[in-house]
Chains A and B, each alone.
Chain A
């Protein structure tokens, strides 16, 4: 089965600090996504990528950067973490060969204090 892993699984960060969330997929998928999940807001797309070395802004990109150095790896970077970025973050991958179904990682619970 397709596999997406995320690290760390949980993190506590201080306001104003830098946070990097990592995602690795072994699905050989071209597309990768970063979402955040908050109670009452469902899943919201932050950044996505269709090919290595290229990223696109999603619906809520402010305060976040993304990096896709290879097909397998996709990182989400919070340069100056803020309280409002406390959430659960999910990475996903998909591809035409899998009927565009998105395969999600287990999530990273980020708490900014």
Chain B
């Protein structure tokens, strides 16, 4: 069973619209979460991390974490065609050196922003 599950699998929004991504973990040990973005033909690139309950905003991007429900979300406002990419949620149990610091990845959500 996938420990980090993402939804939806794909998403299409108009330029200027809001894109929303969801991520749910099945392991209550996960404490640290990241959102990564991968454009076609490139490696993933970190968008933002979120380690505490609540919202974290960076520019057009807002992440929300609720550890009690094991749910993290990402919202992109004013979406641009350049935001079209694959978005991954990743989680880990620990930040320190060791097996528990490994990132566990979701399968990703494909976003298309239509001009």
Residue numbers of A with Cβ under 8 A of B are: 4, 31, 40-45, 48, 50, 56, 58-59, 90, 92, 96, 99-107
* Residues of chain B from 64 to 113 with CB closer than 8 A to chain A in the complex: 88, 95, 97, 99, 101-103, 105-108
* Closest B residue, CB atoms, query A98: B46
How many Å from the CB of B74 to the closest CB on chain A?
15
Task: Identify the interface centre among A31, A43, A56, A99: most chain B CB within 10 Å of its CB.
Answer: A43
* Closest A residue, CB atoms, query B2: A42
In Å, the complex CA distance between A101 and B101 comes to 12
How many Å from the CB of A17 to the closest CB on chain B?
25
**Contact of B42 with A by CB under 8 A:** yes
User: Which residues of chain B are within 8 angstroms of A40 by Cβ–Cβ distance?
Assistant: 107
Size bracket, chain B contacts? 20 to 34
User: Which residues of chain A are within 8 angstroms of B106 by Cβ–Cβ distance?
Assistant: 42
**Contact of B59 with A by CB under 8 A:** no
User: Which residues of chain A are within 8 angstroms of B44 by Cβ–Cβ distance?
Assistant: 43, 90, 102, 104
Residue numbers of B with Cβ under 8 A of A are: 32, 34, 36, 41-46, 49, 88, 95, 97, 99, 101-103, 105-108
In Å, the complex CA distance between A99 and B106 comes to 20
Contacts A92-B43, A105-B43 given: A50-B97 contact, CB under 8 Å?
yes
In Å, the complex CA distance between A48 and B92 comes to 15
Tell me whether B43 and A42 are in contact (CB under 8 A).
Answer: no
Other than the given A42-B88, A42-B105, 15 more pairs (CB < 8 A) read A4-B43, A31-B97, A40-B107, A41-B107, A42-B106, A43-B105, A44-B105, A56-B99, A90-B43, A100-B101, A101-B34, A101-B46, A104-B43, A107-B42, A107-B43
Tell me whether A102 and B107 are in contact (CB under 8 A).
Answer: no
In Å, the complex CA distance between A45 and B99 comes to 12
How many Å from the CB of A70 to the closest CB on chain B?
18
